[in-house]
Amino acid sequence: MMKNKVIVVGGGMVGAATAVKLAKQGCQVTVIEQQIIDADAVLASEKVAIRVSAINRFSENLLDDLGAMPILRVHRHAPYQQLEAFERTGDNLLFDCHDINTTHLGHLIENNLIQASIWQQFAQHNIEVIETSQSLSAIEQSKQQVTLHYGEQQYTADLVVAADGGQSLLRQQAGIGVTGWQYDQHCMGVLIKLDAAQQVKTWQQFKPSGPVAFLPMQAPYANLICYHDAKQLKQWQQLSASELKQQLLAHFPPLAGDFDVIEHAVFPLTRQHANSYSDGRIVLVGDAAHTINPLAGQGVNLGFQDVVALADILNNTDDIGAAQYLKQYEQTRRKANLLMMSMMDACYFGFSNQLTPLQWARSQFLKVANNSVFFKNQLLKYAIGGQLD
């Protein structure tokens, strides 16, 4: 029996996971990437990266299945046991892993380590990686195959997976439109070195100027997230490390100890949803299909849920690129992705409004929710990758 041929365009966390997952199911997989990474060098490096993801339990299970999580457990990772959201002291919603009888809610892990740990599985599954500096110039589709043109090079497969990010060129070339908007605010991430023991709680505070968050990486490092208007963050970008620290001290609740600013970066906030998840034999996963407000760090988790849903539907199918299966994948994922996107927007916009009645309503919501065991556990189960009952 001939193996189904799959091309994955984009070797980031979600694209790499798609490649390994489909290869484990017997597909012949090729990854097209602009720059091949040295996975061994990334994992061996002592340099801590600023970009991190809050990997929930669903994603952890997938990374275990792919063979990546055992690698990550012996590198830098930080299991967190608590997640707290609050506006003012006394108005808080606290989730604890012990409430649902588990050891942790998730892990904070650097994105490049996640990517590298998955790339290390490529050789085992005979995944070919093609590095190209050429842009995608054309797409040809027939009833049986799809061909991608990169300059003079052509690559043909039964299925092409677009995993090339929010600005997906493959999605654009396939003629799939998007709906969405860019938020008024931008977001600053700040890598700090914290003079404190390992922290096990990640938290978010909602402020009139925008949310702030604390992400505990493996001690002594942590990540501070600050939403603010673009002009203000642009000014902060120009500050020295010591000057930026003073702004953070004034803007954040007290941290567990003193800290030094190591690195910082600013990026715009965008919500975007593809009008379709497929066209012919091309299918979208991860940010190519949807980008979400990063308020609760759910972006990569949604992408990993795409991977599992797509792989489950395509497993043991007679024609891996058939429209009926790709539409079934979209029906499975669109509603779930839209629900999470809408929930994040409700939190973002709801807590940024300073009208007195809304302030009172938010305070009451947090107090009531925090005292409702059933409601808290339902939200917590959903946040770690389960389904609402």
pLDDT one-digit tens code per residue, 187-199: 999 999 999 999 9
- Fold exhibited by the domain 5-65+109-180+271-348: FAD/NAD(P)-binding domain (3.50.50)
* Alpha carbons 122 and 126: distance in angstroms, whole number: 6
The number of residues in the chain equals 389
Please tell me which residue, 102 or 108, carries the higher pLDDT value: 108
CA distance 26 to 1: 11
SS3 category, 54: strand
Handedness of CA 15, 19, 21, 27 (dihedral sign): positive
Q: Are the beta carbons of 245 and 161 closer than 8 angstroms?
A: no
* Residue 117 predicted with pLDDT over 90: yes
Whether 166 has a pLDDT exceeding 70, the answer reads yes
User: Nearest CA to 68 among 120, 135, 12, 21?
Assistant: 120
Tell me the mean pLDDT in the region 372-378.
Answer: 61
Q: What is the pLDDT of residue 144?
A: 94
| Residues whose CB falls within 8 Å of the CB of residue 76, separated by 6 or more in sequence, listed in order | 48, 109, 110, 113, 217, 218, 221
pLDDT on residue 372: 56
102 closest CA partner among 374, 375, 381, 388 = 381
pLDDT tier at 389 (50, 70, 90 boundaries)?
A: very low
Q: What tokens does 360 get?
A: 């009172």
Model pTM? 0.92
Residue 88 has pLDDT above 70, yes or no: no
Residue reference for tokens 């809050």: 54
Which residues pair with residue 8 across a beta bridge? 31, 161
At residue 355, the pLDDT reads: 47
- Confidence (pLDDT) at 100: 83
Query: How does residue 354 score in pLDDT terms, banded at 50, 70 and 90?
Result: low
pLDDT-derived band at 388 (thresholds 50, 70, 90) equals very low
pLDDT tens digit string along 301-334?
999 999 999 999 999 898 999 999 999 999 999 9
In 158-258 the beta strands, taken as DSSP E runs, fall at 159-162, 178-194, 201-205, 212-216, 221-229
Long-range CB pairs of 273-276 (<8 Å, 24+ gap) are 273/178, 273/179, 273/180, 273/337, 273/338, 273/341, 274/171, 274/176, 274/177, 274/178, 275/176, 275/177, 275/178, 275/179, 276/176, 276/330
pLDDT at 182: 79
Percentage of the chain exceeding pLDDT 90? 71
All residues at 6 or more sequence positions from 313 whose CB lies less than 8 Å from its CB, including other chains? 325, 328, 329, 332
Residues in CB range of 42: below 8 A, 6 or more apart:
112, 113, 115, 116
Backbone region of residue 71 per phi and psi (left: phi > 0; alpha: psi in -120 to 50; beta: other values): alpha
DSSP bridge partners of 258: none
Q: What is the pLDDT of residues 130-153, one digit of tens each?
A: 999 999 999 999 999 999 999 999
Comparing 37-46, 67-76, 131-140, 286-295, which segment has the lowest mean pLDDT? Answer: 286-295
14 or 97, greater pLDDT: 14
Res. 3: pLDDT tops 90: no
Per the prediction, the chain carries an average pLDDT of 89
Annotated domain spans of the chain: 5-65+109-180+271-348
The yes-or-no verdict on residue 349 having pLDDT over 60 is: no
Q: Could you read off the pLDDT of 192-240 as tens digits, one per residue? A: 999 999 999 999 888 888 889 999 999 999 999 999 988 999 999 999 9
pLDDT at 298 over 80: no
Q: In what order do the strands lie in the sheet with 290-291?
A: 92-96, 82-86, 201-205, 212-216, 221-229, 178-194, 259-274, 290-291
pLDDT at residue 24, rounded to an integer: 97
Residue 59 and residue 386: Cα distance in Å, rounded? 11
Mean pLDDT of 335-351: 74
Report the Cα 376 to chain-centroid distance in Å: 23
Q: Cis omega (within 30 of 0) on the bond before 211?
A: no
What share of the chain has pLDDT > 70, as a percent?
A: 86
